[in-house]
Amino acid sequence: MSLILFAFVVRVRDGLPLSASTDFEHNRELHERKQQLKTISKALTLFPERGTVKGHELNIYFITSEGVSYMTICSCGFPTTMAFCFLEDLRWEFTAAFDSTTVALASRPYSFLEFDGVIQKMKHQYSNCNSLSLSMSLMDIQEDLRARPPEILNLEEMVLSNGTANGHTEPVSGAGSNQRLEPVTTLGILSLVLNIMCAALNLIRGVHLIEYTFQDDNEGIWNVIAFLVAFACCLCQVGFVALQLAGILLMMRAVMCSQYSLVS
């Protein structure tokens, strides 16, 4: 049996799976550990940046960095230092392949499944523990783990505190609820353009009717009101779509600012 059985990359804010390794081994405990891995991924904001879940024969290790969590299931015989060294290398490879903006805009599960090839190469590399570069990395990780040891999570507490994994989260009222703007589709952009054109057309018609009404009589006042109401409705629709676009731009700006601050 391989020492590293499964690797998993997930987005922290919503638990969206980004990539995972191909399964070559199947047993009952591995299936249970994968279920626990999904439980953790649904509520990563509640967990520390480093964590360990001990099992009978298999352990779970995970690290979180820059809004992405890297998780793995390893044999109990696999040293903890090597497990976290594997995760750090996995993090480095993933961030080198995909920037923060691409990760933030991913909308479907396993959008970066092609990263599995990199994971398989790394698993093969870690089967050869005699590598000089790997030995140097292990020394650095070992010192870091001594300074900041990972938190050991209790499975029972994890299940009780993370009802979100099974969809049993209690509803939260007020301004603190988890609401986020979805990306505007092509149909939404087309709707925005058409609404702007309709609003402009109704405004022009309303202005012309106002001119004719004041020149002749007041019989056409209701036509003016009708066009102005239609103009106001179009403006409301344009406002909703524009709000979505503004939210996406602000999100992209925040991601880019955080990326630049990390680089500097």
Top-confidence range, 42-56, 168-182, 239-253: 42-56
| Two structure tokens written together for 28 | 């009952």
What's the mean pLDDT when you consider all of the chain?
76
Per DSSP, which regions of the chain are E strands?
Answer: 4-11, 17-20, 50-53, 58-65, 68-75, 151-153
Q: What is the largest CA-CA distance in the chain?
A: 96
| Two structure tokens written together for 111 | 């959008």
Report the 3 state secondary structure along 169-228. CCCCCCCCCCCCCCCCCHHHHHHHHHHHHHHHHHHHHHHHHHHHHHHCCCCCHHHHHHHH
**Tens of pLDDT along 178-237?**
444 455 567 767 777 777 777 777 677 666 666 665 555 555 566 667 667 776 777 777
CATH 2.40.50.220 fits 4-162, yes or no: no
* Span of 7-16, 153-162, 182-191, 247-256 with lowest mean pLDDT: 153-162
Sheet containing strand 151-153, edge to edge, reads: 17-20, 4-11, 68-75, 58-65, 50-53, 151-153
**Tens of pLDDT along 153-169?**
876 655 555 444 444 44
pLDDT in the model for residue 193: 78
